[in-house]
Amino acid sequence: MRKLLTSKWFIVVMAVLLILTAIILGMLPGSPLGKVLKPVGAIASPVQKSIKNIGNNVADFWAAINDGVAIREENAQLREEIAQLEYELTQNEEASIRYEELQDAFHIRDTFSNYEIYGASVLSREADEWFSSIRIGLGNVDGIYLASGDSYAVVDVRMNLIGRVIDINEADSEILPLLHEGFVVSAKVNAVNGAGMIVRGDASLKLEGLCLVTDIDENTVLVPGTEIVTSGDGGLFPQGIPIGVIESVDDSNPLIITATLRPYADVAGLNDVFVMVPFSVIEEQQANIDAGLPPVATSSSDEEEE
Contact present, 261 and 228 (Cβ < 8 Å)? yes
Phi first, then psi: what are they for 116, rounded to 5°? -90, 130
Structure confidence at residue 16 (pLDDT): 64
Structure confidence at residue 157 (pLDDT): 83
Q: What is the pLDDT of residues 233-245, one digit of tens each?
A: 887 888 999 999 9
Q: What is the pLDDT of residues 242-294, one digit of tens each?
A: 999 999 999 888 889 999 999 999 877 788 899 999 988 889 998 988 888 99
Average pLDDT of every residue of the chain? 78
**Percentage of the chain exceeding pLDDT 70:** 65
What gap in Å lies between CA 116 and CA 145, rounded to an integer?
A: 13
Structure confidence at residue 71 (pLDDT): 75
Structure confidence at residue 218 (pLDDT): 82
Q: What is the pLDDT of residues 163-193, one digit of tens each?
A: 999 999 999 999 999 989 999 999 999 998 8
Instruction: Of 278, 175, 286, give the one whose Cα is nearest residue 235.
Output: 278
| Angle, alpha carbons 155-160-165 (nearest 5°) | 30
Q: Give residues with Cβ within 8 angstroms of 122, minimum separation 6.
A: 134, 135, 136, 137, 270, 271, 272, 273
Structure confidence at residue 303 (pLDDT): 41
> Looking at the domain that runs over 107-290, which CATH code has it been given?
2.40.10.350
Over range 121-131, report the average pLDDT.
67
Give residue 24's pLDDT band: very low, low, confident or very high (50, 70, 90): low
Question: What are the residue ranges spanned by the domains of the chain?
Answer: 1-83, 107-290
Give residue 89's pLDDT band: very low, low, confident or very high (50, 70, 90): low
